[in-house]
Structures are given as C-alpha cells and as structure tokens.
C-alpha cells in the first residue's frame, strides 16, 4: 500500500463507504463517519498515538458491528492485526443490548493495551457527544445511566492513558460520578 498515510487514508475511505448514509443519534443527524474519525483524532491528538494499526482500527471499529463488513474482509484489506483489534472491540449484535453492555464492563480489564486505548477514545467521543446534545427521545435519566455504564467500562481500562482518563474523569465528575 505504500506509506502509513496511505494506509490510514485507505481505512478512512473504506469506513466512509461502509457508513455511507448512516447518521449519529444527535438532533442534527451528524454523518456517522464523524464518530470513527473523531475517535482516531482523540487517539492521535490527545493520547499521542502514532501506531497506524491502532489508528486504522479506530477508523474501522464500528464497521463489523454496524455495517455488512466481515472480519475476513477487514483482514484481507488491512491485515490480521487490524482485524484482531476491531474484533476485540466489536459487540455481538446477536446478543441483547443489556448483555452486550454487561460484557463490555466484564471484558474491559482483560483487553489488550491497544483495545483499551481504542475503548477509552470511543467512550470519550460518545460522552462528549452526549454532553453536547441529547439524542431525541433520551430522558435525562437515560443519559445519566449511559454515563454510569460508561464509568464502569472505563474503570476496567484504567492505567492505559493518563490524558484520556483525566478527560473522562472530568466528564464523570460533571455528572456526579466517580471512577
């Protein structure tokens, strides 16, 4: 593929194609691709990540869960490391939502260092979005419950990235939560 920049752009282009037409839950209906780009940006700018595999996985992290992308397709296009990292952070959509959330909390401490970084950045981006605006139909209680669940996941990821953890801690404290 050539350069690391080309590898990163290939992942961005692939994710944009797969998420085409998808929207975030915010009132503006922000294009979904903004989320994986935001997660990769948090890793690069706030956590100082330069690991291209991790940044590619950040861009691709929701493709298997939320599109018709397969793990085999990711491996063929981006290699076994990227596939493995995406697989590690992908929920099994065949399971009920409550079970998927429970498993995220349970599995967080045993995640690989790269997966922990990705999960921290993913939670940070989602929580910043929730802080910015509440999705239509979400009550204040539902927002608070999401923050409480995210705090339980993040507690299992501690010791991974002081800058991301400090920012998450600040968001949790705003909601009256502790890690």
Does residue 26 have an active-site annotation? no
Of 125, 153, 141, whose CA–CA distance to 37 is shortest? 125
Which residues in 47-60 are b (16+ Cβ under 10 Å) and which e? bebebbbbbbbbbb
Cα–Cα distance, 113 to 81 (Å, whole number): 13
Of 10, 66, 75, 91, the catalytic one is 66
Of residues 65, 75, 81, 91, which has the active-site annotation?
A: 65
Q: Distance between CA 92 and CA 88 in Å, rounded? A: 11
**Residue 66 bears catalytic tag:** yes
Token reading at 137: 């139909």
Structure-derived torsion over alpha carbons of residues 76, 35, 114, 46, reported in degrees to the nearest 10: 140
Q: What is the DSSP letter of 28?
A: T
What is the distance, to the nearest Å, from the Cα of residue 25 to the centroid of all Cα atoms in its chain?
A: 15
Cα dihedral 81, 83, 84, 86 in deg (nearest 10):
120
Residues tagged active-site: 65-66
């Amino acid at each position: 593929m050539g350069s690391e920049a080309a590898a990163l752009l290939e992942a961005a282009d692939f994710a944009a194609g797969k998420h085409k037409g998808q929207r975030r839950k915010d009132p503006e209906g922000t294009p979904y691709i903004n989320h994986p780009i935001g997660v990769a940006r948090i890793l690069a700018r706030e956590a100082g990540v330069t690991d291209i595999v991790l940044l590619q996985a950040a861009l691709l992290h929701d493709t298997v869960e939320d599109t018709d992308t397969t793990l085999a397709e990711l491996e063929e296009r981006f290699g076994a490391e990227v596939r493995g990292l995406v697989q590690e952070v992908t929920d099994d959509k065949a399971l009920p939502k409550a079970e998927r959330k429970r498993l995220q909390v349970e599995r967080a401490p045993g995640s690989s260092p790269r997966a922990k970084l990705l999960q921290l950045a993913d939670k940070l981006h989602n929580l910043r979005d929730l802080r910015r605006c509440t999705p239509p139909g979400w009550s204040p209680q539902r927002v608070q419950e999401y923050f409480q669940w995210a705090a339980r996941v993040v507690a299992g990821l501690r010791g991974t990235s002081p800058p991301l953890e400090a920012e998450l801690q600040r968001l949790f404290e705003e909601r009256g939560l502790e890690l």
